[in-house]
Structure 1
Amino acid sequence: MTSYNPKDWISFIFNIGKADTFRKLMPMMLIIGLYSAAIAYLEIEYWDLPDDSHVKNISIMHGMLGFVISLLLAYRTNTAYDRWWEGRKMWGGLVNSSRNLSIKLSVILQDEKDRIYFRKIIPSYASILHKHLNDTDTSKQLFDDVDLEIDHHKHKPNQVAKMLFQKINDLYVSKKITGDQLIILNSEVQSFTDICGACERIKNTPIPYSYSAFIKKFIFIYVLTLPFGYVFNLGYFVIPVVVFIFYVLASLELIAEEIEDPFGTDANDLPTKKMAENIKKQVEELI
């Protein structure tokens, strides 16, 4: 995730970062600019349309549809941000659950071998969940001295959660923990799977295709019709105006596309790898 100072206006205005939409839209902006120039030339120099031409009334349509497109883009952006924020809350919950489980185990466990096992296995869940959500290769084990015995053709976070609960159950069977302690620890382990399911729901449920496609088509057609109506008032200045309007509208859609999947590798996605590393550090401090 990009780190920045929200109070530094100068850097926002003049800096073009890797995630800046200006860079991504530059080819399309050039095409829109050439298209607008062609329409302006035809209307001004070739067609020589009179001031009372019906083409001039197209701007009335833009005024009516401008409110509609603003509502659509506002809803689109808010929906995408809700998904990003929910993903952040889920990973915040994973951090808290890992801490709570580690704190309880640090007090309950007396055998150093058991403490070492949980010191390794608890951070493993966060690391494998990060890779699971990013669809990256998890064929390598996280720790050389702990055999996770993961079947990579099955659901990886579930296997780690199963191993975690299996170890807790073994502690109960061997009388190292009581039944009440088993119930207390079970709620923390269960929260791991709940968080995984919520993250998978965000990851595997994109915005409906018809809705996303409609917004893109709406923006494209809206921008293509702008030069016809406004060339009467702006002349050749319609070229930068139309390009700027396209940049604003398309940028909102691009931003929504980027943050609606918060577990990817885009610059503004959640730093799940860093959060998993922080969980590992904090668990090692507690147990």
Structure 2
Amino acid sequence: MIIRPKLNWFRLLFVWRGSVLPQLLPRLALIFVLSISAMFMHDHIRNYPVNLGTPPFALVGIALAVFLGFRNSASYERWWEGRKLWGELFITARSLARQILSMPNSLDPLQKRHFLAAIGGFAHALRHQLRGTDALADLASRLTPELHARVSTAQFKPGIILLWFGEWLAQRQRDGTIDGYALIAIDRNLNALSDVIGGCERLANTPLPFSYSVMIHRTIYLFCVLLPFGLVDGAGMLTPLFALLVAYAFMALEAIAAQIEDPFGLEENDLALNAMCNTLEAVLHDMSADPAFERAPKASSSSRLYILD
């Protein structure tokens, strides 16, 4: 994900990293070639065979803009819901850590450290599950050897860690360290973490209908391919300029919607899950105020997080 401060209007015109323009260049080059071809055919071929005019493109363009608006709204809603779910994870994790840290001193400090480290491991396990990557390397330094061995054979690792949280609390209740009221209060936060897992899995496993995306994609590219032949009669030498401007607007909107449709991916406009996990662990470390609670190594930068001036 690209994270950068707001730029002034002039610098924003020339931003490259984080823009979808690099991936659109080959397609825009095709539109440019078609524009030159349309100009050549219009000026040098007798009985010019293609004379579409602008009215059909005005009508189709308005309809296409409406469809793209719905497409982008649906994709952004998915992106924003993913961000809200991870915000809920942050809130719940901090509340859970506060409850554990405020327990009586009779609770073994080592047990507290294991629980806090496992909260960070839970976030990393969920991140890897949503991206389909291997979580074991990141979890090795955050979970106890017994829990890591248990998680290593599981397909849905966040659920196993969540189950361990419940087992840990049940054991503390049997030991008499916490009472039933505290167990109920903490269990509410565990249920909230379960809701976060379910919400994220719903987003990750239920993309927008494929036929809907294909229909918009085909319409955009057919529109952009034919556009130079409709503009050339009125725009003349400026046909490439206007064709490229319109094509860039439509193609860029479609490309951005395709990127943020899956908010948990590795593209530049997806959520910065690595940075979120690292921030959560920093918060847990500060809350513990325990010199013996060593921070695990930061997550790798595979999420392509860029922080730019």
Q: Same fold (TM over 0.5)?
A: yes
Q: What residue number does 1:270 align with? A: 271
Q: What residue number does 1:239 align with? A: 240
Alpha-carbon distance, 1:43 to partner: 2.2
1:27, 1:35 → 2: CA distance?
A: 13
Identity of aligned residues (%): 26
In the alignment, is residue 133 of structure 1 matched against residue 134 of structure 2?
Answer: no
Alpha-carbon distance, 1:142 to partner: 3.2
Counterpart selection for 1:102 from 88, 97, 100:
97
Greater helix proportion: 1
Q: What residue number does 2:62 align with? A: 67
Q: What is the correspondence of 1:17-56 to structure 2 with a 5 Å cutoff? A: 17=17, 19-49=18-48, 56=51
User: Larger deviation: 107-116 or 30-39?
Assistant: 107-116
2:143, 2:76 → 1: CA distance?
A: 40
Alpha-carbon distance, 1:144 to partner: 7.0
Alpha-carbon distance, 1:38 to partner: 1.4
Alpha-carbon distance, 1:118 to partner: 1.3
Q: What is the correspondence of 1:41-190 to structure 2 with a 5 Å cutoff? A: 41-49=40-48, 56=51, 58-110=53-105, 111=107, 112-140=109-137, 141-143=139-141, 146-147=144-145, 148=147, 149=149, 150-190=151-191
1:128, 1:269 → 2: CA distance?
A: 18
2:85, 2:183 → 1: CA distance?
A: 24
Q: What residue number does 2:303 align with? A: none
Matching residue's letter, 2:144: V
List per-residue Cα deviations over 1:183-215 (Å, max 9, x = no partner). Answer: 101011111111011111111111111110011
Matching residue's letter, 2:127: H
Q: What residue number does 2:5 align with? A: 5
Alpha-carbon distance, 1:163 to partner: 0.7
List per-residue Cα deviations over 1:59-85 (Å, max 9, x = no partner). Answer: 211111121111111111111111111
1:5, 1:286 → 2: CA distance?
A: 29
TM-score, normalization: structure 2? 0.86
Q: What residue number does 2:304 align with? A: none
Contact 2:231 2:239 in 1 (8 A): yes
Contact 2:68 2:253 in 1 (8 A): yes
Matching residue's letter, 2:269: N
List per-residue Cα deviations over 1:136-183 (Å, max 9, x = no partner). Answer: 112323327722231334211001101111100111112111111111
| Count of paired positions | 282
* Alpha-carbon distance change, 201 to 259 in structure 1, aligned in 2, over 3 angstroms: same
1:210, 1:164 → 2: CA distance?
A: 42
Q: What residue number does 1:206 align with? A: 207
Matching residue's letter, 1:205: T
2:46, 2:26 → 1: CA distance?
A: 28
Alpha-carbon distance, 1:217 to partner: 0.8
Contact 1:129 1:196 in 2 (8 A): yes
Q: What residue number does 2:258 align with? A: 257
2:228, 2:47 → 1: CA distance?
A: 15
Q: What residue number does 2:302 align with? A: none
TM-score, normalization: structure 1? 0.92
Question: 3-state SS of the aligned residue for 1:14?
Answer: coil
Contact 2:96 2:189 in 1 (8 A): yes
* Alpha-carbon distance change, 57 to 124 in structure 1, aligned in 2, over 3 angstroms: closer
2:251, 2:26 → 1: CA distance?
A: 13
Contact 1:56 1:230 in 2 (8 A): no
Where has structure 1 moved over 6 Å in runs of 4 or more?
A: none
1:89, 1:213 → 2: CA distance?
A: 28
* Alpha-carbon distance change, 153 to 113 in structure 1, aligned in 2, over 3 angstroms: closer
* Alpha-carbon distance change, 11 to 88 in structure 1, aligned in 2, over 3 angstroms: same
* Alpha-carbon distance change, 211 to 93 in structure 1, aligned in 2, over 3 angstroms: same
2:99, 2:45 → 1: CA distance?
A: 81
